[in-house]
């Protein structure tokens, strides 16, 4: 239902297209009116309810009128009822409006739909427009361990898991350093592009927790997740799965987004991405049985030409006497 390209009513489809154009032109009032007309003709068309919610949400942001907020919440609830898998992303907007669980706001169906549509322009947008360099940052951080207390840190990893591998940018950054490389992603379109690199022995369409659950115990030497945890609220299941799949002495390396000063725990930001506070990360990492080999501040990408603050974490399984690097120690 959520992936309907048509309402089944030609006139309703035209009203919907007009509503989309109005919203794109910055006229949410007209968008709401046209979406309402489309719904009069096709009341079961989930995308039109979602569009009506977006229009009312923008009106609320401008007016702070509670009537607009209630109308937006009602529209997103109707969209979600017609699209229970939530490929449209209604839960994200409900959470932003105070009407839902922020930590459960991103459904697998939403992420799959988002990246399936994004795949053809993903690398150009991410690298050229957002200044994304997560994979190279992670590889550089691993290399830097040779000068720290972990002088035994390897530079070649026989078995590597790439969580949320996307188009294979992380695989390319690790080229020449790995033996067997396996990746997972929710998006079939992304996996098709990763397959073209020829770097992956296995590519699995799955969320990262499910993927990790299918890996043998103590089978991986390195697990990487570049710009992936921004789509995941609670990290306990992911970290637990990583700890189980890693062999003793193995490494887990990933990036996270940091919340604004004063924010704690896990925060769903206005950018629709999760940010994880340092204290939360330390607690969950310890609970999973990891040691922190390094934790450093990094700009993980750019948003509206401004660096997005984050952290690079390198975890070591069953590390005794680890040197824990505070984020302020190594900017």
For 227-272, write each residue's pLDDT tens digit: 999 999 999 999 999 999 999 999 999 999 999 999 999 999 988 9
* pLDDT of amino acid 4: 67
- Distance, CA of 86 to CA of 70 (rounded, Å): 20
pLDDT at 321 over 60: no
Q: What average pLDDT does this structure show over 132-161? A: 77
Per DSSP, the three-state class of 159 is strand
Over residues 95-116, the pLDDT tens digits come to 999 988 999 899 999 999 989 8
* pLDDT of amino acid 128: 63
Give the length of the chain.
331
With CA atoms as reference, report the closest residue to 203 among 183, 174, 232: 183
User: Which numeric CATH code is attached to 10-100?
Assistant: 1.25.40.10
Which ranges constitute the DSSP H helices of 169-277?
Answer: 169-173, 188-195, 208-213, 236-245
Over residues 162-180, the pLDDT tens digits come to 999 999 999 999 999 999 9
Contact (CB, 8 A) for 173 and 138: yes
- Distance, CA of 260 to CA of 276 (rounded, Å): 10
Which of 202-206, 257-261, 314-318 bottoms out in mean pLDDT, i.e. has the lowest? 314-318
Domain edges within the chain = 10-100, 119-317
Contacts of 331 (CB under 8 A, 6+ apart): 296, 297
* pLDDT of amino acid 207: 96
Backbone angles phi, psi at 298, to 5 degrees: -160, 150
Tell me the fold of 119-317: Rossmann fold (3.40.50)
- Distance, CA of 226 to CA of 234 (rounded, Å): 17
Q: What average pLDDT does this structure show over 43-54? A: 97
The angle subtended at Cα 321 by Cα 319 and Cα 326, nearest 5°, is 95
* pLDDT of amino acid 146: 56
Over residues 274-285, the pLDDT tens digits come to 999 999 999 999
pTM value is 0.88
Contacts of 96 (CB under 8 A, 6+ apart): 57, 268, 270, 272
What percent of the chain has pLDDT above 90? 76
More confident residue, 318 or 241: 241
pLDDT at 18 over 50: yes
158-172 burial, b at 16+ Cβ within 10 Å, e below that, comes to ebbbbbbbbbbbbbe
* pLDDT of amino acid 329: 42
């Amino acid at each position: 239902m959520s992936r309907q390209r048509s309402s089944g009513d030609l006139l309703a489809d035209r009203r919907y297209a007009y509503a989309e154009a109005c919203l794109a032109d910055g006229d949410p009032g007209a968008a709401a009116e046209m979406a309402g007309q489309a719904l009069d003709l096709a009341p079961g068309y989930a995308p039109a309810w979602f569009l009506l919610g977006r229009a009312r949400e923008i009106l609320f942001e401008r007016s702070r009128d509670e009537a607009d907020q209630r109308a937006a919440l009602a529209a997103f609830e109707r969209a979600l009822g017609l699209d229970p898998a939530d490929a449209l992303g209604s839960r994200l907007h409900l959470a932003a409006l105070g009407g839902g669980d922020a930590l459960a706001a991103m459904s697998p169906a939403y992420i799959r739909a988002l990246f399936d549509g994004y795949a053809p322009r993903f690398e150009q947008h991410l690298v050229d427009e957002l200044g994304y360099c997560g994979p190279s940052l992670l590889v550089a951080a691993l290399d830097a361990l040779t000068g720290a207390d972990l002088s035994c840190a390897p530079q070649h990893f026989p078995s590597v898991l790439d969580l949320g591998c996307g188009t294979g940018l992380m695989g390319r950054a690790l080229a020449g350093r790995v033996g067997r490389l396996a990746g997972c992603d929710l998006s079939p379109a992304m996996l098709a592009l990763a397959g073209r690199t020829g770097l992956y022995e296995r590519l699995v369409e799955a969320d990262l927790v499910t993927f990790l659950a299918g890996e043998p115990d103590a089978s991986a030497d390195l697990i990487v997740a570049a710009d992936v945890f921004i789509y995941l609220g609670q990290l306990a299941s992911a970290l637990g799965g990583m700890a189980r799949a890693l062999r003793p002495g193995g490494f887990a390396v990933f990036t996270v987004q940091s919340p604004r000063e004063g924010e704690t725990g896990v925060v769903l930001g206005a950018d629709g991405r999760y940010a994880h506070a340092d204290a939360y990360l330390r607690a969950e990492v310890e609970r999973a049985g990891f040691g922190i080999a390094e934790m450093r501040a990094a700009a993980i990408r750019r948003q509206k030409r401004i660096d997005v603050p984050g952290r690079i974490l390198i975890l070591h399984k069953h590390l005794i006497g680890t040197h824990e690097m505070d984020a302020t120690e190594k900017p």
